[in-house]
A and B are shown apart, each in its own frame.
Chain A
Amino acid sequence: MSENIVEKEIEVKDMSFFYGEKEALKNVTLNVEKNKITSLIGPSGCGKTTLLRCFNRMHDLYKGNRYTGEIIFKNQNILDKNIDITKLRTDIGMVFQKPTPFPMSIFDNVAYGLRLKGIKNKTELHNRVEHVLKKSALWNEVADRLSSSAMGLSGGQQQRLCLARTLAPEPDVVLFDEPTSALDPISTKKIEELMQELRGSITMLIVTHNMQQAARISDRTAFMYMGELVEEDATDIMFTYPKKQMTEEYITGKFG
């Protein structure tokens, strides 16, 4: 079976993370499989967001944060101080919990990352914006108002716009931090469907507190507890025969 020839996109090796003195991640080791969806689950405060934000070095924004260990991506340790962070963030995009439209037109929002990449040609920009908006199932809703402000969209549309904006520069990996927790069920479904369509061409890591969602959409699931990565496996195994007792207790709702 081809299942055995898994390709690794990201390798987390014995990584710890500190907010100042507080150790929020303890010796995490994890392989993220290429072009699959991996869910990060675990009780609130266990470090899911913290782990996710290591992959695009978002923690660098704040003083006193510190990493040890390695995260290997494209044969490089991305925790290395000398790495090109701008390039890393073009390769690894992120969608946040609350929609974060920029104060500009719908078109300019999606074109933002493309322009950053140096694409200036109007036709090319337009084609790529159209393409990615179609891919994000937003084109029909916004085609006639590309030049109006993105702030006028509904919450669900804004979140799909943010996904389109993230996808536009064609990243290899997209990180999602509870992307649907602020959305209604219909918008949630749309985002989940989009993720399903992207599966196979993009590596996705999603933090979710919703176990049904993890079971529904992901290929792999990782369970975290108090800053440690307890267990990671194929989603169906994790939700039926987890190896660790703690995972089972969490999944069956004994704590959380």
Chain B
Amino acid sequence: MDLRLIRKIKGYIMLFLSTLAALIGVVLLFAILYKVIMSGLDGLNLNLFIKDEAPAFLQASGGLRHAFIGQLLITVIASLIGIPIGILGGIYLSEYAHNTKTGRFLSSLADVSISIPTIIIGTFIYSILVRPLGHFNGWAGAAALAVILIPIVMRTTEESLKLIPWQLREAALALGTPMYKVIKDIVIKSALTGIFTGVSLAVARIAGETAPLLFTSFSNNTLSFNMNEPVASLTVSIFTYASSAFENWISLAWAAALVITVFILITNIILKQIMKKRSY
């Protein structure tokens, strides 16, 4: 056979295989979305948001208000702790430690922490904030999420700041501006969209975490604002409800899964859109 024909056939095989692989990925994604939407819509009603857990055997229509609020509480506190630390860390890496060994080391350390399975972070927080106190508590959950959040925010901040040309910093310094003011007035302001996007993606990411909460804030079947006690969260509730034997609980779990999926999907789409606009 002539060489061109062989090449052509090889080309078609390659095209076929990669298209197939892409299709499998897309089909799986849509299958998941389809299942979540179909099963989620059944249990989706106002009670989900305004009622707390009802004992499953009563077959009463309970809700997951306690879990929504608990999740929000933990996520907000984790963000309040994690975002400032992450941003300051990113500023350090980009502005003060750029091109230094320490900077590069800390940067790769942050990259490594981003890829640590979150269950390990949960276990670690368990050993320092749950075991010593003797019971699960909301603070531990928030701390675990903050630990996940910090390196992500740190690295995205660093990358956003590094995109700002050095000449802009030099121009500000050349006017006699002190370094901290250059960072505050010029650099951060130029990188604001990037930092904001990174922070939001990171928050959306921790909002969907289950594993680190299982060992830390655990769960609570009533509405509680006491961070010293176990606090309910959507993701852990989904886990418990979905693996229970009660029809109405399973249906609630699907509804909650739908809410969380839609939330994360929408935030991601909006933020990716913002990022696209910014980078011409």
Which residues on A are within 8 Å of B, measured CB to CB?
56, 58, 61, 63, 85-90, 93-94, 96-98, 100, 102-104, 112-113, 116, 162, 165-166, 169
B247 proximal to A (CB < 8 A): no
Best-surrounded residue of B99, B168, B169 (most CB of chain A within 10 A) = B168
CB distance from B148 to the nearest CB of A (A): 31
A-side contacts of B178, CB under 8 Å: 86
Q: Which residue of B lies closest to A56 (CB)?
A: B174
B-side contacts of A116, CB under 8 Å: 175-177, 181
CB distance from B162 to the nearest CB of A (A): 15
A166 to B181 CA separation, bound complex (whole angstroms): 17
Q: Which residue of A lies closest to B172 (CB)?
A: A102
A-side contacts of B174, CB under 8 Å: 56, 58, 89, 93-94, 96, 166
Q: Which residue of B lies closest to A97 (CB)?
A: B167
B-side contacts of A166, CB under 8 Å: 174-175
A96 touches B176 (CB 8 A): no
A88 to B169 CA separation, bound complex (whole angstroms): 17
The residue that B176 contacts in the complex, of A61, A86, A102, with Cβ under 8 A, is A86
B176 touches A113 (CB 8 A): yes
Best-surrounded residue of B99, B175, B186 (most CB of chain A within 10 A) = B175
B-side contacts of A61, CB under 8 Å: 169-170, 173
A162 touches B171 (CB 8 A): yes
Q: Which residue of A lies closest to B181 (CB)?
A: A116
B190 proximal to A (CB < 8 A): yes
Which residues on B are within 8 Å of A, measured CB to CB?
99-100, 165, 167-178, 181, 185-186, 189-190
A100 touches B167 (CB 8 A): yes
A-side contacts of B181, CB under 8 Å: 116
A89 to B165 CA separation, bound complex (whole angstroms): 20
A113 touches B168 (CB 8 A): no
17 new A-B contacts, CB < 8 A, other than A100-B170, A112-B175, are: A58-B173, A61-B173, A87-B176, A89-B175, A96-B167, A98-B165, A100-B167, A100-B168, A100-B171, A103-B190, A104-B185, A104-B189, A113-B176, A116-B175, A116-B176, A116-B177, A169-B176
A91 to B176 CA separation, bound complex (whole angstroms): 9
Q: Which residue of A lies closest to B174 (CB)?
A: A94
The residue that B175 contacts in the complex, of A63, A87, A98, A113, with Cβ under 8 A, is A113
A63 to B190 CA separation, bound complex (whole angstroms): 25
A86 to B178 CA separation, bound complex (whole angstroms): 7
Q: List 10 A-B contacts (CB under 8 A).
A: A61-B170, A63-B100, A88-B176, A90-B175, A93-B175, A94-B171, A96-B167, A113-B176, A116-B175, A169-B176
Q: Which residue of A lies closest to B187 (CB)?
A: A103
Best-surrounded residue of A63, A104, A116, A162 (most CB of chain B within 10 A) = A116
A93 to B171 CA separation, bound complex (whole angstroms): 9
A169 touches B175 (CB 8 A): yes
A-side contacts of B168, CB under 8 Å: 100, 102
Known: A102-B186, A103-B189, A103-B190. A165 touches B170 (CB 8 A): no
Known: A89-B176, A113-B175. A102 touches B185 (CB 8 A): yes
B170 touches A96 (CB 8 A): yes
A93 to B173 CA separation, bound complex (whole angstroms): 10
CB distance from B190 to the nearest CB of A (A): 5
A96 to B176 CA separation, bound complex (whole angstroms): 15
A-side contacts of B173, CB under 8 Å: 58, 61, 89
CB distance from B26 to the nearest CB of A (A): 39
B-side contacts of A86, CB under 8 Å: 176-178
A-side contacts of B175, CB under 8 Å: 89-90, 93, 112-113, 116, 165-166, 169
Q: Which residue of B lies closest to A166 (CB)?
A: B175
B170 touches A58 (CB 8 A): yes
A113 to B175 CA separation, bound complex (whole angstroms): 6
A162 to B174 CA separation, bound complex (whole angstroms): 11
A4 to B173 CA separation, bound complex (whole angstroms): 37
A-side contacts of B99, CB under 8 Å: 63
CB distance from A98 to the nearest CB of B (A): 6
CB distance from B196 to the nearest CB of A (A): 14
CB distance from A94 to the nearest CB of B (A): 4
CB distance from A62 to the nearest CB of B (A): 8
